[in-house]
A and B are shown apart, each in its own frame.
Chain A
C-alpha cells in the first residue's frame, strides 16, 4: 500500500508566480484534504474534496483553488504567490465524507522568494 503520495517534495517559486501541487490518496480513499503548515505552527485546513467537488473550505483566499480527478487524486493551485505562502503543504486522504481517520502525506515544501 503506497499511502498518500505528494509531488514535488520541494519547490522554489518567485513572488507573483503560480504553483500546482499534486496528491494521490491512499488506496481505497476517496476524500482529499489540503493543509498549510507554516514553520513552527500546526497545520491549517485549506479545503476538502469529495466526489470531485469542494465540500469544505477553511479561511483561505480565492488564490487557493483545487481540483479532484475521477481517480480521486487532487491538485492544489496557488496564484499570485506571496512570501507568506512559504510553508509545508500537506495532503490528507480519508474514506467517505465522514471518514474519521485522515492519513497524511509527507508534504511539499514551498519556498517563495
Chain B
C-alpha cells in the first residue's frame, strides 16, 4: 500500500537557518506529492505540491522537488523565520480510473524556530 515517511521531530533551528525536512514515499504508479502545514489550533493548509517527476513546488520561500528515482520530496527553505514554527506534513495522492484516492500523510514534523 501507499506510505509516507518523514523525519521525526521536533526540529529546532535558529532564525535565518537553512531548513530541510526529509520525506520519502512508497506508492504504485505516479502519485502527486504535497506538503501541508498545520499551525497551532488550525486545520491543514496546502504549502506546495508537485504532480510529476522533476517538478518543483514552491511557495513562501519553501521548495520541494519530486524525485522519482529516490522516491523523495524533501522540503527546504533557505532562511527560516519564527513564524514558520508549525507542524509540517508530507502527503501523496494516487489517481486511478475511479478518480483521486484519499491523501496519505506522514506523521508530521514539528518545527520550532527560535529567535
Contact = CB atoms under 8 A, between A and B. Distances in A.
Interface string A18-52: 00000000000000010100001111111110100
Contacts of B51: 100
Interface residues of B, number: 26
A58 interface: yes
A107 B100 CA distance: 22
Interface string B73-102: 000000000000000010101010011111
A109 to B, nearest CB: 10
Given A41-B108, A42-B106, A42-B107, A55 B43 contact: no
Interface of A: 4, 33, 35, 40-48, 50, 55-56, 58, 90, 92, 94, 96-107
Interface of B: 4, 32, 36, 41-46, 49, 51, 89, 91, 93, 95, 98-108
